[in-house]
């Protein structure tokens, strides 16, 4: 895994309580047997030197059985040493062993179908997560109704899910910020066009109704260990209160 230079992206949101909040977003690490432990040590070191309030990982952390990568997950687990890390499931996590992965990442907050909050400038910032759409194939509950109700109940809300398709729940509820991954930004051009047949957004920043959307291109790769015209990313999202329509 080649590690990119971290980027800071200014993101407009409606709610004044979110103004100045900085979120580290990682996605789609796809940790497997071939990935070097040194790469993960470097990733944690890079992130620890960044200025942010909390981190989110929007799915697909693993890409093989957990028993083969326990030491690598222990390294990743140290990312939560200084600041909170919130994560949700991705389709690969479900396939290769979500429960086993959760045990190894015991310093992280697992957010599938649940909510919590982060104190920022004496205000509560709500974080709400949804299980991946692949859950149904493994008899894992994906509780859209519960998540929809949670989104409706709370202001200053950040919604995290693996796939861009779930932005619909965010726009239905005027959620401030929706963060996702899954697409790898197409990973290898011209597969960008294929991804666009299945997902509403490929990568980057979008505004729909009163919701801000950010699709992270991820860090790892799937299938072929190669990217073309879809660089991987480590992103700090700096939230700025401004009217979003």
The predicted-structure confidence for 207-240, as pLDDT tens digits, reads as follows 998 999 999 999 999 888 877 788 999 999 999 9
How does DSSP assign 34-72, residue by residue? Answer: TS-HHHHHHHHHHHHTS--SEEEEES--BSS-GGGSHHH
Q: How confident is the model over 147-182, as pLDDT tens digits? A: 999 999 988 899 999 999 999 999 999 899 999 999
Q: 84: burial class by Cβ within 10 Å (0-12, 13-18, 19+)?
A: middle
pLDDT band at 245 (very low <50, low <70, confident <90, very high): low
Instruction: For residues 116-133, give the mean pLDDT.
Output: 96
The residue with greater pLDDT, 57 or 136, is 57
The CATH code that applies to domain 7-241 is 3.60.21.10
Q: Is the pLDDT of residue 195 over 80?
A: no
Residue ranges of the domains in the chain?
7-241
What does the DSSP 8-state code read for residue 81? Answer: G
pLDDT over 90, % of the chain:
83
DSSP class of residue 185? G
What is residue 31's DSSP assignment? B
């Amino acid at each position: 895994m080649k590690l990119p230079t971290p980027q800071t992206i200014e993101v407009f949101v409606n709610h004044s309580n979110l103004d100045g909040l900085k979120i580290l977003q990682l996605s789609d690490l796809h940790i497997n047997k071939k990935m070097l432990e040194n790469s993960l040590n470097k990733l944690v070191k890079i992130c620890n030197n960044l200025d942010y309030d909390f981190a989110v990982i929007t799915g697909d952390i693993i890409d093989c059985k957990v028993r083969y990568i326990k030491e690598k997950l222990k390294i990743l687990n140290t990312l939560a040493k200084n600041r909170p890390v919130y994560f949700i499931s991705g389709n690969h996590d479900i396939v290769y062993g979500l429960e086993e992965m959760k045990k190894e990442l015991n310093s992280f907050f697992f957010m599938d179908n649940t909510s919590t909050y982060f104190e920022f400038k004496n205000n509560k910032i709500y974080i709400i997560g949804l299980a991946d759409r692949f859950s149904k194939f493994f008899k894992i509950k994906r509780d859209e109704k519960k998540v929809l109700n949670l989104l409706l109940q709370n202001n200053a809300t950040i919604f995290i899910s693996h796939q861009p398709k779930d932005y619909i729940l965010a726009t239905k509820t005027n959620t401030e910020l929706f963060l996702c991954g899954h697409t790898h930004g197409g990973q290898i051009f011209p597969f960008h066009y294929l991804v666009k047949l299945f997902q509403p957004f490929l990568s980057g920043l979008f505004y729909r109704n009163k919701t801000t959307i950010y699709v992270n291109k991820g860090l790892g790769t799937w299938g072929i260990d190669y990217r073309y015209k879809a660089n991987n990313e480590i992103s700090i999202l700096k939230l700025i209160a401004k009217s979003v329509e």
